[in-house]
Structure 1
């Protein structure tokens, strides 16, 4: 399995082709890159691609914190 960042995958394939291969829209690719999301693209043995995101847990900060 080959792994690359979303940015390098898009640089190699182009935004429209990357979106098609990952089954998302080109605006979704643009937004993910512009917000600097930590997304890795995996090339699977059958030649297909899958994107995975690494996010901290919990992914959202709590609205209220106890004093």
Structure 2
């Protein structure tokens, strides 16, 4: 994922198979769950978001995303 702010889409670049990605706003409200590696941010307002990713091998990670 790019560290630059985005206005439309983000793409998760990994060789791992994604089990799920949870998408939260800055106050922790759950917005969406997907297993797609490309996420459309266009419907969401400007701000910070958190992605929590779990791979099928059990590995996990969380990432901050800024939509401008």
Indicate the structure with greater strand content. Answer: 2
* Structure with bigger gyration radius: 1
* More RCO (CA 8 Å, sep 6+): 2
Indicate the structure with greater helix content. Answer: 1
Same fold (TM over 0.5): no
Q: What is the TM-score with the length of structure 1 in the denominator?
A: 0.33
